[in-house]
Amino acid sequence: MGYYNTPRQNDQKNPWKRYMASSFGGVLAGALLVGTLVTGTDLGETESATAGVQTSELQNESAIVTTDVTETVEQTADAVVGVSNLQADNNPFAQTSTQEAGAGSGVIYKKQGDDAYVVTNHHVVEGAKEVVVTLADGEELEAEVLGSDVWTDLAVLKVPGAQIDTIAEFGDSSVLKSGEPVIAIGNPLGLQFSGSVTTGVISGTERAVPIDINKDGQEDWQSEVLQTDAAINPGNSGGALLNAQGQVIGINSMKIAQDAVEGIGLAIPINSAIPIISELEGEGEVSRPSLGVALLELEQIPAEIRNAELNLPAEVEDGIVVQSVQEGSGADEAGIEAKDTIVELNGQAVTSVLELRQYLYTEVKEEGAVTVKAYRNGELKTFEVQLSEQI
């Protein structure tokens, strides 16, 4: 996925354009990452397991741990809410104009004046015509989506605050250690199981997980997440991951769905989420720098077209091909053209669209300038590109 969508041009006379316009399929290797938004529930089968009670010296210690968890949950549970995504109902015989397309969770993190603010996941509210927040006592409140960001999978909602008393406290995710106990609170399988609590540990910090945002089979982004074995199920998206002090240290976001995999839940570290939450609350969107080009990875282009159209030196095996340039953009002003092959950004080699996007969004200041090195007809050229704002 590039930075801009450009109108399709008449490409009958140009095989390069015909190739560029085609779909580059691919299958992501590894586990499938799925957001934990519940879109339907089948309760036809349930399993129960029982175990005999064994007495030992460990029994009192277990009771203490349970008491600690209970106190922590009581402190924060009412700040975790249900979030329902209502979309247009196209059924002409329906009694209402909307129907629930999915349900997730959210965390009340702030109350100011007559309003309260809720953080949830972008994929929980994506495409919603209306959003309804359900409090712990079952009260439903109409919510306003202040802003939503697909890249970080975060969204901020505003609701009337008169009936809200419990506000979650943010902790510090940078001090987490593997093995540290955590508690997940959310609504697995929807509001029927609202306020469900699961426990576990931090299995890993600073995990980097590739994400296919536009579902085209190509990795678009690399999400930095916390890994936990606390159960995170459909409907838990946007819920709270708590430390032992009851502070929110993560926003539950996704799990790895693979037949041979269990106990791998992922959460957005709260330290990464806080600046995004602040920008969404205040501005309604997150602004990021853009080159002003649509891009394609070199490895996706067959060798015969690569040799005929790009004329790259034999030693160049990785890079990013410019598919099109937005008129008037920084790349256009700098002289970058279609078919240029970008290999370096500010002295750092870039071999994929994901790497370039990750660098721009995390290392470069908005509307600054970057030095781009790219091959054109076998010659390495240098461009100074003034970045523009990309929403």
Positions annotated as catalytic residues are: 123, 153, 237
Q: What tokens were used for 59? A: 């029994």
What are the CA-CA distances from residue 272 to residues 96, 170, 267, 367 (Å)? 39, 12, 11, 21
How does DSSP assign 148-199, residue by residue? EETTTTEEEEEEE-TT----PPB--GGG--TT-EEEEEE-TTSGGGTTEEEE
Distance CA 206, CA 218 (A): 22
**Cα 138 to chain centroid, rounded:** 28
Side-chain half-sphere CA neighbours of 117 within 13 A: 17
User: How many degrees, rounded to 5, is the angle at CA 355 between CA 353 and CA 359?
Assistant: 115
Token pair 């159209």 in the structure block, residue: 309
What are the CA-CA distances from residue 85 to residues 39, 82, 145, 148, 282 (Å)? 10, 10, 11, 14, 22
Q: Are 211 and 219 spatial neighbours (Cβ–Cβ below 8 Å)? A: yes
Sorted by sequence, the CB contacts under 8 Å of residue 126 that are 6+ apart come out as: 85, 148, 150
Q: Which residues face 175 on adjacent strands?
A: none
Q: What tokens were used for 13? A: 């006379």
Query: Residue type at 119?
Result: V
Q: State the greatest distance between any 2 C-alpha atoms of the chain, in Å, as a whole number.
A: 82
Sorted by sequence, the CB contacts under 8 Å of residue 47 that are 6+ apart come out as: none
Q: Are 268 and 152 spatial neighbours (Cβ–Cβ below 8 Å)? A: yes
- Closest by alpha carbon to 39, among 157, 127, 153, 117? 127
